[in-house]
Amino acid sequence: MNHAIELSVLSPMASVESMLEAFGAVQQNGFATLTVPPFWVKKLHRDWPESTQAILSTVIGYPLGYQRTETKQTETECALNDGAREIQVVMNTSAWFSNSNGWPKVEFAKLAKLIHQREAIFTVIIETDFFDEPSLIRALKTAADAGADYVQNTTGFFQKSFDLEKALRFKQLTPARVGCKVWAESATNEDFTKLLEHGAERLCLPFRS
């Protein structure tokens, strides 16, 4: 199961000590990914073992995705230059639920090109609680068509309790050509097993020191 676990250290109170503790936990337990704020990517990359299979990841547009596309592009370039091997981009729901709802696909396509040119992984995070099912289906297709490698069902920023039924439904709606990540804070080991059995590729958890 450890190979499917992603740790995130995105709390506004997270210190450099927290980053280093999480880094150690990823290495010791064989977790898949460590996601940190862009500010910390360069420092962690300096100590990242070349032999490890774990991925150093960061978030762009966290937590609400409101930034201009040009800003996200610049932040993405900086993160890639600093050593990030995965970029997780928060969808701009404000644009989606407006007359500009075609813009997220353009934004995703621009970022996908930039990220894939550097042979990094592109994840789109969609705050699914804001979407009814037809809109979520369209959003997932938009991310997939634009070149996302993974979609994720929430940033975890709003700290709602884990709902296995909703998580499984998200996986069911995810296009087959895109990997599925589920924010699994407060999920049980039984929940983890069911998610993996139903095809979720990654289980995302906040790091607790």
pLDDT digits 0-9 by tens, 173-185: 999 999 999 999 9
Residue-wise pLDDT tens digits, 72-105: 999 999 999 999 999 999 999 999 998 656 889 9
Residue-wise pLDDT tens digits, 9-19: 999 999 999 99
Task: Identify the band that residue 160 occupies on the pLDDT scale cut at 50, 70 and 90.
Answer: confident
Average pLDDT (53-70) is 96
**Terminal-to-terminal C-alpha distance of the chain:** 20
Task: Identify the band that residue 1 occupies on the pLDDT scale cut at 50, 70 and 90.
Answer: confident
> Residue 116: its pLDDT value, please?
98
Average pLDDT (99-115) is 89
> Residue 40: its pLDDT value, please?
96
Distance, in Å, from the CA atom of 34 to the CA atom of 44, rounded to the nearest integer, reads 10
Is residue 22 a contact partner of residue 7, using CB atoms and an 8 Å limit?
Answer: yes
Supply the mean pLDDT for the chain. Answer: 95
User: What sign does the dihedral 84-37-191-30 (CA atoms) show?
Assistant: positive
Q: Which residues pair with 10 in a beta bridge?
A: none
> Residue 99: its pLDDT value, please?
67
> Residue 51: its pLDDT value, please?
86
